[in-house]
Structure 1
Amino acid sequence: MRFRAAQATQLKRRANATRLRGLAVALGMTAALAGLLLTALRPEPVLFVVVGIASYLAELYLHLNEPLMMRRLGQLRAGVTLRSVLRTALLLVLMARMGLTDDAAYLQAAVLVPVLLILQTAYSAVSAGIRRNRTLPVVTRNIPLDGLPVSNTPPLRLLRKPGQRLLHQELTVLVGAAVALATQDRFWIPVGLLAAALSALLTTVQLVPSLRRALRFPSREAVLAHVDHWLGDYRPDVVLYFTGSKDSAYQGNMWLESLADLARRGHRPMVVMRERGLVRSLDPTTVPVLCVPSATHLMNMELGSVRLALYPANVGKNIHFLRIPKVTHVFIGHGDSDKLASVNPFSKVYDEVWVAGRAGRDRYALADVGVRDDEIVEVGRPQLDALTTRPAVTTGPIPTVLYAPTWEGWTDDPGNTSLLLAGENIVRRLLAGDEPVRVVYKPHPFTGIRDPKARGVHERILRMIARANETRAGQDRWREAAAADAAARAHARAEEQRLTEEITRIQSELADEELDDAQLSRDSGHPDGRLSARLAEARAAHVRVYWQARGAWEHLVVEAGGPHLYDCFDQADLLISDISSVVSDFICTLKPYVLTDTAELGVEEFRAQNTAARAAYILDSGATGMPKLVRMLTRPEMDVLRPHRLDLREYLLGPGSQASAERFAEASRLGIARAAGKAEPPAAPDGAEHLPLVTQGM
């Protein structure tokens, strides 16, 4: 409860800071508009241009960084159009106050200002009409839309960011005024207005054909009827119901292969989503994907064939699918750890909760949040089936140590991450140890988003690794090693570049950024499995050559865009991490791992409070035990905790005798059968023992 309260407090603080920043810029923009009025009335033409540019910069900042504030201004009847009219009209006021009303330049400007405003209004109307008519009530992937008159995407460069386009046209007017001041030739003012008007006219004319096609788009009712007809033919029996922010895409992506496996076993799975913006973040898949933003549309859809609904996250919109009867509703989560999210009280709304192993069952029993033991099913972690299991003895010239700390979290609890208190000590001792190792540092993508200190530690670690690589490159042993495989690494780098380009090309074919949701939905109606297979092959090959292109002696930093965490697992002989699903997943490799007791609980208490720590080697914040851990990597007899990792792996992830994919598929089959009234709920395992604590460590 304290964690959730602190998390809410931090979120509130961040939201307040964002609102205050947006409010400050909006007030500055308002002051600039007032300044334009004053400088036009005085008149002060130089100050008018300066203040106008300041107003432009403030509004541009709001467009780029504060969309919420822009919406609020619109609600207060101070939107983009009003501000544009005001700034442009004040130019005429300035010219009038300068005594130019009888001048030809003024008369030309007086004609061009309303012309510009009319053309800008026409552009806004045309672009809004195109977007409104091209917005389908659903977004789909791998669902045929044959027969629906969905035309090609209009030029998105002309439709994107209409407010900024109007703003840039105003800048053209200001530039004309500035040139007029610099040259003392007032006819540059109507020239600037004319250039802005021509820009608005050209853009609008280019969009007219797209508007005509958009007006012939299928109606909302026709699209929904078409999707209902497809649902009636396909008759999905398993649904992954996924909703959330763009940052949460990984929660759904991790289950796509499990859905594809169910399809290979004869089921008819599909993904149901709720946020349009999240669809593009979904990994390529051959499983049908249906995004239905409207709850009303979702509730009226033909989903009577669904018998099993899987939920990877606890979010409010789950209620819109939970209401469907004759369905076994199952919470599957998106990771296995001792964090509070793994025992959320909301879980009791589901018919079943699927966990990886006995540890998940015990967590719910200890938490006592209302989830009964007979509602829990152990299915393993299908995502881990492909991970290799090999002895904890290095196969490279030197051992590889993977340091993968989690981020700082929303509270200041020292147990959240080892990075703040121990990160530099860990990396320093690894780099300066008597026995050489290769350090692979993989920071969490959220590192530093809340606490600048974490970002500072991260950057210092980057510098430490860079300096260590420079030092190692100058030493005879490593210089000779680099020379020995230089040709092979050069070949691998060239192959890595080729594969990067191929992956980019395939991804652009699967989800072209220059296509809108309507055309992407249409074009993905008949999935090309070969394209997805090519992408998977290219990604796998890219991972292989990534490691080949870098020396086995070279310290690495793996950030966004680099190999997946599981690919780093395969390279690592030892993991150093924190209490998170990273450790629970790594345990399946049976290789040794290290946790840091930054809260200074002591080894026994630390293991008592954290299941994943029961087979871990424990470090203090100073990382004083690191030399002994490094020696263990070349002396397997020192790895005294390996038997305990075997026990803990089964406790956390289930028995290794059956692949998790098999258990997941069997649980799915039984869930479907129960929804149809053909089976009873599974009984809880009898006689399962709790894993004893391990008190020995280093």
Structure 2
Amino acid sequence: MITTAIRVARVGSAAELAAAALMMLGYPALMLAALVPSVPAFAAAAAVTYLADHYLHRKGSYLINRLSKVRAGLSIRFLIRELLLVLLLARLSLSDNLMFYGAVAGFIAFYGLQAPHGALVTLIRNRRRMPVATRNVDLKSRIRIPDAPPRWLLDRSAEKMLHLDLAAVVGILISAQTDSAAAGFAGVGATIGLGCVYVLALAPYVRGRKIPPGADTVLAAMDDWLRVHRPETVLYFSGSKDSAYQVNMWLETMEQLDSRPLVILRERAVLERLAPTTVPVVCVPGGVHLMNMDLSTVRVALYAANVGKNIHLLRVPTMKHVFIGHGDSDKLASVNPYSKVYDEVWTAGRAGRDRYAIADVGVRDDDIVEVGRPQLAPIQSWQGVPEGRVPTVLYAPTWEGWDDNPGNTSLLLAGENIVRSLVTADPPVRVLYKPHPFTGTRSAAAKAAHQRITDLVRKAAEERAADARFTADATETAAARAELARIEALLGRSSRSGDTGDDAEATRDGVVDVARFEEIARLRAEWNTAYWRSFPAWEHRVITDAEPRLYDCFNVSDAMVSDISSVVSDFIASGKPYAVTDSAELGEEEFKRQNTAVRAAVILSNGATELIALLAAVRSPAADPLAGERRELKRYLLGPDEPTSLQQFNTAVRNLAVKAAARNRGQDARATELTG
């Protein structure tokens, strides 16, 4: 019942639900206490509303966001509490008392300070938001970017300012209880005084040398850096904050390019979620600013997603444009007709080329280049289930997509059957459930199915932990958890170091420390090892965080169940058995005909009864009937193992850069002929 209430209220925990309930009930209790009247009851109810409100804000509760949409935002809640305090004074027959008028005047003056405070905070934030935000770009030596205001001034500023009324509320309540106006006037004076101090503390940051330079100066400095750095290959990306993984998957490849790389982003939300990298990064939200940027040295532009904002770079004729995507699968998105706007389309293997030929969407075969998948290097080949360990099966369904096609995801029709079959399998297996990050973002039904599967996995984990057949080395897991906590603390300090949350200062100081970068990479590898040791190897697990990453889950798994998506193509690199769900019920023959990546898979119906064959292949690799087909399919989908994918990718970049340079020379020659 509590779980249902949490889901309906869209809060994250029982404690959050309790805080929301207390805050909702607190205001009627305040009114009742004011009408009775009872100073102690009012004080108790006020304390509850203050604490519950603060807790929900700290948690970033969905409820807080919704309240602001129905005209019950933060300022209104504080104002209501103060008006009820005035009502309490009136009911105590203190309306003729000087304290009553002092309280009314004090609260009016306090709210009079909200406008200049809010204006200053907004002005500071706007002036410190530069037209470009960068990482690993040296603008510091070119323009003067002043220090950000102290974080406490701007962080949760509205909440801090409003909470200054606490002194007045406490003082007035003391006066109401003791019939002495001194405490009330002292409290009101403290509230007004602190409010004035807060406003005055903000004022210096909107004038003089504390203001960052204007847009023209910043853009000129950016162009100067570009002329010196002379980037040759650009990775361009635009998308929502939840799609940052699509650009993150290419960062390591960009770091290993033979040419000088640059990452161009269009949304600050994506920049905030960008993985650590040594590659220079420029975030340019404004289309005009991007189109005016000096990118004359760039010869190859790589696009990880088909989005409307691509046009702002596609219009540049001096570079060659390539669609590289963010995965290689048999989904319709992998043969988007929009792809014909690019000079070339790069696929992992022969399968991608054939996919475009079959789709006939206008992409010429001559414009397709097979480059492998450089990101797959961390995926380990399967050596069979280690002796004495329970086999692990990863269930990694894709998201529901933009329409209600039943073939998009197995979650809706098959997900519960798949997980139920796995958690009840005999001999037992361990289940890892890692859904797509977008799961439930569009479809309420998919969100509900995800929650039911999560509950199913967690319940099965609890039952297994209570089963005497499964034992764990408590000392080893405790040591691993301690190690995990130690590493997380180190990573937390590293990620917070120098982070003020200020756009201008992050741009100024955002040049990566290579030694620190390598240290973080080492810590993340240690974190991954400690994570898998921090619980028994037979324990079912729901994994929805970014860490551990999908490929880490591949490496600890012995088999996978998924849907038509790039996840399947990537998993094939491991050589491990896998199953794919035919949720649209096309039938095995037609399903394999339409989807190359499932040709070496166990095909599941929505009932998931075919999982028996997958588990048999895991338990007896020598008798696996699909092992040979998986090896052939791996080469077809992902290309040859030699030369390495990174070598193939670098060669493709180099060849296309030569074509771009040749075209530019030809254009210059023709222009000279026409004007000469």
Structure 1 contact 46–181 (Cα < 8 Å) conserved: no
State the Cα distance separating 1:458 from its structure 2 match.
1.8
Native 8 Å contact 2:249 2:375 kept in 1? yes
1:12 is matched with which residue? none
Q: Match for 1:142: what amino acid?
A: N
Residues 465, 448 of structure 1: alpha-carbon distance in 2 compared, 3 angstrom cutoff: farther
Match of 1:455 in 2: 450
Q: 1:220 aligns with which of 193, 215, 230?
A: 215
What is the alpha-carbon distance in structure 2 between the residues aligned to residue 553 and residue 58 of structure 1?
41
Structure 1 position 648, deviation (Å): 1.7
Residue 605 of structure 1 corresponds to 590
User: Is 2:492 the counterpart of 1:504?
Assistant: yes
CA contact (8 A) 1:406 1:578 kept: yes
Aligned to 2:460: 465
Aligned partners of 2:398 and 2:408 also within 8 Å: yes
Are residues 1:494 and 2:482 paired?
yes
- 2:99 matched to which residue of 1? 105
Does 1:533 find its partner at 2:528? no
After superposition, give the CA deviation of every residue in 1:432-453 in whole Å (9 maximum; x if it has no partner). Answer: 3332333323233344443243
* Aligned partner of residue 676 in structure 1, secondary structure: helix
Which residue number in structure 1 is paired with residue 359 of structure 2? 367
Deviations 1:95-143 (A, max 9, x none): 9999978743355346535643453334234333432332222111111
The one of 269, 273, 294 equivalent to 1:277 is 269
Sort the Cα spacing of 1:213 and 1:547 in 2 relative to 1 into closer, same or farther, 3 A. Answer: farther
Determine the C-alpha separation between the residues in 1 that align with 2:174 and 2:436. Answer: 50
Q: Judging changes above 3 Å, is the alpha-carbon distance between structure 1 residues 136 and 45 closer, same or farther for their aligned structure 2 residues?
A: farther
Contact 2:602 2:613 in 1 (8 A): no
- After TM superposition, list the pairs within 5 Å mapping 1:33-432 onto structure 2: 103-106=97-100, 108-109=102-103, 112-113=106-107, 115-144=109-138, 145-169=140-164, 193-211=188-206, 215-262=210-257, 265=258, 267-392=259-384, 394=386, 397-432=389-424
Tell me if the contact between 1:53 and 1:171 (Cα under 8 Å) persists in the aligned partners. no
- Amino acid aligned to 1:350: Y
Structure 1 residues 529 and 184: CA distance shift in structure 2, 3 A: same
How many residues are matched?
624
Alpha-carbon distance between aligned partners in 2 of 1:274 and 1:162, rounded to the nearest angstrom: 27
Could you tell me which residue of structure 2 aligns to residue 523 of structure 1?
A: 509
Deviation of the 1:613 alpha carbon = 1.5
Once the two structures are TM-superposed, the CA of residue 94 in structure 1 deviates from its matched residue by 11
Structure 1 residues 128, 422: closer, same or farther in 2, change over 3 A? Answer: closer
Deviation string for 1:558-601 (max 9, x for gaps)? Answer: 33154211111112221111111111100111111011233333
1: CA distance, partners of 2:542 / 2:76 = 50
Partner residue of 2:500 out of 496, 514, 519: 514
Residues 394 and 633 in structure 1, CA contact (< 8 A), matched pair in contact too: no
Q: Match for residue 25 of structure 1?
A: none
Q: 1:93 offset after TM fit, Å?
A: 11
Q: Is the 8 A contact 1:394 1:634 kept in 2?
A: no
Residues 336-367 of structure 1, C-alpha deviation per residue, up to 9 Å, x if partnerless? Answer: 11222212222222222212222222222333
- Cα–Cα, structure 1 residues 174 and 673, in superposed 2: closer, same or farther, change >3 Å? same
CA contact (8 A) 1:387 1:588 kept: yes
Q: CA deviation at 1:280?
A: 1.8
The DSSP-based 3-state class of the residue aligned with 2:619 is coil
Residues 373-432 of structure 1 show CA distances to partners (whole Å, capped at 9, x for unaligned) of 222222111101232223455566332222222234454443333333333333333333
How far apart, CA to CA, are the structure 2 residues paired with 1:602 and 1:544?
Answer: 41
Contact kept in structure 2, 1:419 and 1:457, CA below 8 Å: no
Moved more, 578-587 or 192-201: 192-201
SS of 1:615 mapped into structure 2: coil
1:465, 1:556 within 8 Å by CA — same for their partners in 2?
Answer: no
Q: Secondary structure at the match of 2:321?
A: strand
Q: 1:69, CA displacement in angstroms?
A: 9.9
Q: Which residue of 1 aligns with 2:612?
A: 627
* Native 8 Å contact 2:305 2:325 kept in 1: yes
Residue 256 of structure 1: CA displacement?
0.6
CA distance change for structure 1 residues 68 and 431 in 2, over 3 Å: closer, same or farther? closer
Matched AA of 1:652 = L
1:164 deviates by 3.6
Q: CA deviation at 1:466?
A: 1.6
Task: Assess, with a 3 A threshold, how the Cα gap between structure 1 residues 664 and 191 changes in structure 2: closer, same or farther.
Answer: same
Between the aligned partners of 1:431 and 1:93, the Cα distance in structure 2 is 60
Query: 1:149/1:403 Cα in 2 relative to 1: closer, same or farther (>3 Å)?
Result: same
Is 2:546 aligned against 1:554?
A: no
Compute the TM-score of the two structures, normalised by the length of structure 2: 0.81
Q: Look up the equivalent residue of 2:502 and give its one-letter code.
A: D
8 Å contact kept, 1:404–1:576? yes
What is the rounded CA distance, in whole Å, between the counterparts of 1:415 and 1:531 in structure 2? 45
Please give the alpha-carbon distance, in whole angstroms, between the structure 1 residues aligned to 2:330 and 2:566: 8
Matching residue's letter, 2:399: W
Relative to structure 1, is the Cα distance of residues 99 and 412 closer, same or farther in structure 2, using a 3 angstrom cutoff? same
Do the aligned partners of 2:134 and 2:282 also contact (CA within 8 Å) in 1?
A: yes
Aligned residues with identical type, % of pairs: 46
Instruction: Give distance in 2, aligned partners of 1:679 and 1:222.
Output: 30
Q: 1:455 to 1:488 in 2, by over 3 A?
A: closer
In the TM superposition, what is the alpha-carbon distance from 1:305 to its structure 2 partner?
0.8
SS of the aligned residue for 1:309 comes to strand
Q: 1:637 to 1:673 in 2, by over 3 A?
A: same
Preserved CA contact (<8 Å) 1:615 1:644? yes
Q: Per-residue CA shift, 1:594-622, capped at 9, x if unaligned?
A: 11233333211221222221111122333
SS of equivalent residue, structure 2 residue 145: coil
- Work out whether residues 63 and 164 of structure 1, in 8 Å CA contact, stay in contact via their aligned partners in 2: no
Q: Report the counterpart of residue 542 of structure 1 in structure 2.
A: 527
* Residue 656 (structure 1) aligned with residue 653 (structure 2): no
In 2 relative to 1, CA 323–627 (structure 1 residues): closer, same or farther, beyond 3 Å? Answer: closer
Per-residue deviation at 1:190?
5.0
Is 1:580 aligned to residue 565 of structure 2?
Answer: yes
Shift of 1:251: 0.9
Q: Which moved more, 1:391-400 or 1:134-143?
A: 391-400
Three-state SS of the structure 1 residue aligned to 2:662 is coil
Whole-angstrom distance in 2 between the partners of 1:45 and 1:296? 63
Unaligned runs of 5+ in 1: 1-16, 18-34, 681-698
| Contact 2:169–2:187 (CA under 8 A) maintained in structure 1 | yes
Q: Return closer, same or farther for 1:626/1:219 CA change in 2, 3 Å cut-off.
A: closer
Residue 435 (str. 1) matches residue 420 (str. 2): no
Cα 1:345–1:196 change in 2 (3 A) is: farther
Identify which range, 425-434 or 565-574, moves more after superposition: 425-434
Report if aligned partners of 2:145, 2:212 keep a CA contact under 8 Å in 1.
yes
Instruction: Give the Cα–Cα distance (whole angstroms) in 2 for the partners of residues 422 and 63 of structure 1.
Output: 32
Q: Is the 8 A contact 1:396 1:552 kept in 2?
A: no
Q: State the one-letter code of the partner of 1:502.
A: L
Inter-partner Cα distance in structure 1 for 2:428 and 2:68: 55
